[in-house]
Amino acid sequence: MDVKIEKKFDEVFSEFERGTHGLLQIAVFGRVSSGKSSFLNAFLDRAVHEKKFDVAARAGVTTEIVYHYFGEHIQIIDTPGLVDVVEENSKVTEKVLKGGVDVGILLLHGVTDLSQKEIYEQVKSGAQSVFLVRNFIDQESKKIREQLDNQWRQHLNLRKDQRIYGVSCRGYDPEDRIIDPISGEEHEIPLNEYGVPKTIKGVNELQNDVIAEMFKIGKSVFLARELNGKRKQALAIISTACVTCVAAQFIPGTIAIIGATIAGAISSLKYLYTGSFASKSEAKNIMGIFVTEGIGGLGVVAYEFFVSFLPPNGILDTAGIILTIPYYAAMLIVVQNYLEQGLEISKSESTDEKIKSIYKDLRVQVANMDVRKIGDRGTWGSLLSSFLVRSPIA
């Protein structure tokens, strides 16, 4: 590999690797009665019988900062319910954010007010990534929801690309029931295969976006590993890697950035399934396994594959994306397949055939993709999902 490319690769991967040794710190803020406890249970995919945060009516409200740990690498900072006194809120928020956190989640509640706006400004300054959430959307009509979202957007001066996540986290109160609006009959809230209430809505999108934001610094998989459904979390990691690679097309040093991104995704997938990260050398070795001749008439060897197709300015164009990103997506899908089955990743004829088949199908679909959607993670997730359920490697 070219010395400059190698240096840039090491630089990008080192940033990822540093994050794998630390904590993913998530601080959650919200007014009293904003449904913070039920939200946290839903956000962490807790089963009803294993809920971490008490949401029963008798539970009351959090009155002090509480630090919860999940696994070895996740710290949830549960803050006291915010009140109308701005000064009190400011002191609590300042204490939580003093050392900085990776993710700040603010549960917006009720109508717009000064106290929540002040907290939002503080969270922006102390959290690497900020997510705004409105709970209880199951109690709102679509029209009312749109009106409230617009009011909050204006009140907080949000950019067009900033999102307010609408969620419903109902189902963790043991006394809660679904009431038939006609007969008045009460029914227990149904649970999914993991024991999580089926009444939860909108949380999965937030989980995926937090995973995407934390991917570059190596912390996304800490959350992914705690959530239900390894295959679903693997899809979030792979689609995030694809979108990150697409975004890198306009950045000098594209080859190294994309190579390090794929190496980071391989390392993350290994942690997701085994609990240990792949080192830089291990990730490179895995990439080197996938040496395939005959893919569209091209010889492909991991990140070195890009060298032959990179324009003089060091930046890939759309045609380059269509040629390259599907190959790396196919590689990650095959890696996921091996890990899911608990197999050692190795070169074989069946592996070559599988990656060729996936690459061929993906390249056609990406070529036909709306260019406006080529950088959208949801689009990539939908595209790649069917490939994760294909027949396993022999």
- Tell me the residue length of the chain: 394
- What percent of the chain shows pLDDT beyond 90? 57
* 28 and 13 within one domain: no
pLDDT band at 89 (very low <50, low <70, confident <90, very high): low
Higher pLDDT, 369 or 156: 156
Tell me which residue of 90, 148, 95 sits closest to 119, measured CA to CA.
90
Range of the domain at 201: 23-207
The string of pLDDT tens digits covering residues 26-39 is 999 988 888 999 99
**At 189, which CATH number?**
3.40.50.300
pLDDT band at 258 (very low <50, low <70, confident <90, very high): confident
Q: Tell me how far apart the alpha carbons of residues 206 and 28 are, in angstroms, rounded to a whole number.
A: 13
* 181 and 140 within one domain: yes
Tokens matching residue 266: 């391989």
* 316 and 342 within one domain: yes
Domain presence at residue 216: no
- Longest Cα–Cα distance of the chain, Å, equals 73
3-state secondary structure (DSSP) of residue 22 = coil
Tell me which residue of 279, 285, 269, 276 sits closest to 338, measured CA to CA.
269
Last residue of a domain, one of 207, 239, 269: 207
Q: Tell me how far apart the alpha carbons of residues 100 and 16 are, in angstroms, rounded to a whole number.
A: 18
Query: How many domains does the chain fold into?
Result: 2
Domain presence at residue 217: no
Domain presence at residue 377: yes
pLDDT at 379: 94
* 261 and 194 within one domain: no
* 377 and 294 within one domain: yes
* 28 and 10 within one domain: no
The string of pLDDT tens digits covering residues 266-284 is 999 999 999 999 999 999 9
Mean of pLDDT over the chain: 86
pLDDT at 54: 81
Domain presence at residue 215: no
Q: Tell me how far apart the alpha carbons of residues 13 and 241 are, in angstroms, rounded to a whole number.
A: 13
280: enclosing H helix or E strand: helix 280-289
* 145 and 66 within one domain: yes
Burial class (CB in 10 A: 0-12, 13-18, 19+), 157: exposed
* 327 and 345 within one domain: yes
3-state secondary structure (DSSP) of residue 37 = helix
Domain presence at residue 151: yes
- What is the DSSP track for 210-249? HHHHHTTTT-HHHHHHHSS-HHHHHHHHHHHHHHHHHHGG
Q: Tell me how far apart the alpha carbons of residues 11 and 1 are, in angstroms, rounded to a whole number.
A: 15
The string of pLDDT tens digits covering residues 216-240 is 899 999 999 999 999 999 999 999 9
pLDDT band at 2 (very low <50, low <70, confident <90, very high): low
Look-up of token digits 């630390």: 22
Domain presence at residue 63: yes
* 115 and 143 within one domain: yes
Domain presence at residue 214: no
* 34 and 10 within one domain: no
Residues forming a β-bridge with 103: 26, 129
* 239 and 151 within one domain: no
pLDDT at 88: 65
* 30 and 7 within one domain: no
Higher pLDDT, 347 or 144: 144
pLDDT at 98: 83
Last residue of a domain, one of 153, 172, 207: 207
Domain presence at residue 124: yes
Q: Tell me how far apart the alpha carbons of residues 332 and 33 are, in angstroms, rounded to a whole number.
A: 43
- The CB-side HSE value for 269 (13 A sphere, CA atoms) comes to 33
